Amino acid sequence: MSRLPETGSIEVDAPAEAARVVDEIAAHVATRMLIALDVDGTVLLEDETLSPGVVDAVAHAQAAGHEVMLATGRSWEGTRGVLRVLGLAPEYVVCSNGAAIMRRIDGDEVRYERFHTETFDPTEVLRLIHDNVTDAHYMVELADGQRLYTKPMGDWNLAQARRVPFAELSAHPVSRVVVVSPGQTEQDFVDLVHRIGLNQVSYAIGWTAWLDIAPMGVDKASALEMVRGWLGIDPAQVLVIGDGRNDLGMFRWALDHGGRAVAMAQGPDEVRDAAGETTLSVGDGGVAAVLRRL
């Protein structure tokens, strides 16, 4: 019968053990997913309450080693509270429909810095819309996150926001322009865009008369591709979930790379048609249903 060495140690084939560890790490990296969640209509209901089961589902996805993050049209000011209630502290957060990417600063407390920002000159866009829309609320977001607005609307008048005359909106380069016209419909804005042409910018139209304009070529997809590269996640290991037209770009991006794009059941037909899958509505816990199946 063999016996242990007198030192009490067990001899191990070091090269074989090292190779096994490397294989395990490689397998984990290959299956680690980048999961990007929209906020409004995806993790939050219209009254800003959480979609059923989403907090636990996000926690389980993180525990499994996946990178769960938010990709939203909201500014950072309107996003950081959502991170807190979800129990999320991802390395990156995509805000302002891709025009702003926040990066976590590790320390005693979780903080974020404005890591990447895209800007453009809004003068011509603002002139075109102002000449064609008689009554609208305007807001622009500057490179440092400060917001300037003409009339209060939703969270526009929160911290880092200032009410200004319309002419001042184009005084500086901006990350985005948001236009809301309570007297018009969604179709009115679709017709407006086709009529005036918005060829030098990217834009998304909301369910109501809401228009979000970003620099040319900038959307959630362009920002997520940068994040994916920084994190070193395989292009096919991407899962995006959303419900609005501003999610169409990230749906195409995910599917083009062999990833998954999931639409919420209450989304418009064109959004559900663009996704590879449809889950339950936000009120029925659609995000939780997808994450539980991972």
Can you give the pLDDT at residue 13? Answer: 61
Can you give the pLDDT at residue 6? Answer: 46
- The model carries a pTM of 0.86
Q: How would you classify residue 65: left for phi > 0, otherwise alpha for psi between -120 and 50, otherwise beta?
A: left
Can you give the pLDDT at residue 182? Answer: 83
Can you give the pLDDT at residue 155? Answer: 62
Low-confidence ranges of the chain (pLDDT < 70): 1-30, 154-159, 207
Can you give the pLDDT at residue 2? Answer: 43
Instruction: Please tell me the distance from the alpha carbon of residue 213 to that of residue 129, in angstroms, as a whole number.
Output: 11
**Where are the domains positioned within the chain?**
27-118+218-292, 123-215
CB 243 within 8 A of CB 73: no
Can you give the pLDDT at residue 72? Answer: 96
Token duo for residue 263: 């639409």
Query: In 206-247, which ranges are E strands?
Result: 210-215, 238-242
Token duo for residue 180: 């809301």
Give the domain 27-118+218-292 fold: Rossmann fold (3.40.50)
Can you give the pLDDT at residue 184? Answer: 82
CATH architecture for the domain at 123-215: 2-Layer Sandwich (3.30)
239's enclosing H/E stretch is strand 238-242
CB 257 within 8 A of CB 235: yes
Instruction: Please tell me the distance from the alpha carbon of residue 4 to that of residue 156, in angstroms, as a whole number.
Output: 72
Cα angle 126-127-131, degrees, rounded to a multiple of 5: 115
Q: What are the tens digits of pLDDT across the range 39-86? A: 999 999 999 999 999 999 999 999 999 999 999 999 998 899 999 999
Can you give the pLDDT at residue 247? Answer: 96
Buried/exposed code over 221-240 (b: 16+ C-beta within 10 A; e: otherwise) = bbbbbebbeeeebbeebbbb
